[in-house]
Amino acid sequence: MAGAEQNQGLIHLKAEFLQSASRTEECPALKVPEYAFIGRSNVGKSSLINMLANHQGLAKTSGKPGKTQLINLFKMDDGAWSLVDLPGYGYAKVSKVAREGFSKMISHYLRNRSNLVNVFVLVDGRLEPQKIDLEFLRNLGQWGIPFSLVYTKLDKLSSSAFGKNQAAMKRALLKDWENLPPMFLTSATTGLGRTEILRYISDLNAEVGPAIAELEG
């Protein structure tokens, strides 16, 4: 029965927009676990966030890649944790100066946000490993930032086609890491992966939440 109650809590997750920021220093000081979501600019990140929150208007979606250009923070589960929607890398049609600005903003946030627990890196499940994704993952590894892989758009291809892409990604990752990161299979259309990701977050909250609550500042 306790398990059923926990699942109900995951299903009826409360989410609300908190703040947008152009710099890490502008982000509110929070003493709760924080989880960042990022991926290439057309990977379906906003749709996935809305699916997780069961709130279709939470993160702004657009047919034009690169819609997210700020650090967008959301208060989740009555403030038990926070979700951050980061600008995509591989930015669509923006200037070189703008791309460099986004890169600096993202890297500074990732390396300096003290309550950041995990980065969910979204990759398009329809594609073989992309160089830009692998480079970003290597950066996270060099910075010592925990991350998980989230395969998106799995309703748009067969399981056999995805299996080949996932196997290729695993081979590519094992060239740089001894162990593979947690991986989640998702679809913003069908809701696939929602329970698994939210349960993973819930488990991490229980593990690291008390320590984060004691952070200075």
pLDDT digits (tens, 9 = 90+) for 144-186: 999 999 999 999 999 999 999 999 999 999 999 999 999 999 9
Across 13-40, average pLDDT: 94
Closest C-alpha to 113, from 5, 26, 179, 38: 26
CATH number at residue 157: 3.40.50.300
Q: What share of the chain is helix, strand, coil (3-state, %, to 5)?
A: 40, 20, 40
196-to-4, 152, 164 alpha-carbon distances in Å: 14, 14, 22
Across 29-51, average pLDDT: 94
Evaluate if residue 79 carries a pLDDT over 70. yes
Least confident of 93-97, 154-158, 207-211: 93-97
pTM value is: 0.90
Domain that includes residue 73, residue range:
2-213
CA–CA distance, 107 with 143 (Å, rounded to integer) = 9
